[in-house]
Amino acid sequence: MLVLRLLNVIAPAYFLCISLVTFVLQIFLFIPSMFRDPSTTPLFSPALLHGALFLFLSANALGNYVLVIQSSPEDLGKGLNSGEGAEVVADWLDGSRSPGSALPSTHFCRLCARVTQRHDHHCFFTGNCIGSRNMRNFIMFCLYTSLACLDSLVAGMAYISAALSMSFANPLAFLTLLPHSISQFFSGALLSSEMFVILMLYLWLGIGLACAGFCCHQMLLILRGQTRYQVRKGMVVRARPWRENLQEVFGKRWLLGLLIPVLNVGSDYCRQKEK
């Protein structure tokens, strides 16, 4: 448990550090290198378009990241003041009852110390549980983080291609870039800044693919009306049309949430809270 609590603190700090490094490299290194002559650059140059695209992806990724943290799943234990529900929560807290005997569609997270509805999993990179209130923002966070990493990967490859006068037309060039760069770095033929960018290329690739795969897996579960916790525990869920499952998570104003980071307005959960 101590290791998990440390990971719950270190992982968000690691994500913020990677985000800051990516932003600095894009703004102060990659984008300026795209300008050959800034005085004659047209208004809609590739450099300006790339900069606007990166800022759009970064703003959505960080905005949804903040909303995932702020929109914490509701602690059902606070609202259960009497009856069997209060006894279940009390048994969870003192460890006398296993989570398997929980109320339907609920789960007690020991890291967050709360009972959440529609619990999916605990995300260490946000330090928060993912449930019915912040699922949509979490998926948007994964989507835009993946796109921002892949955008930085392309920009970094263009920078390295120009700095080292090499071509990535052959797919093997990227696979052999790291071992060749390490040998050149220790021989003094490669600058520290260039070596750092090359290491970031592989980090962006890994994070981008991981977030994309996780986003696709999460969307598949949503279409089936399931959560990761229900799948892991083998719980049977009521079969519903996939359109209803999507609307429950994304709401009717899904297009607004796709373009800008907003709270999950218009979902079934929010309508139930308003009632």
Give alpha helix (H) positions in 101-236.
135-164, 171-175, 177-186, 192-223, 228-233
Rounded Cα distance between 115 and 265, Å, is: 23
Catalytic residue among 17, 112, 123, 215: 123
Distances (CA, A) of 236 to 45, 138, 266: 54, 24, 27
**Residue closest to 168 by CA, chosen among 183, 156, 150, 151:** 156
Quick check: 71 and 126 in contact, CB under 8 A?
Answer: no
Does 123 participate in catalysis according to the annotation? yes
Amino acid at 59: A
To 10 degrees, the CA torsion angle through 40, 44, 47, 52? 140
**Catalytic amino acids?**
123
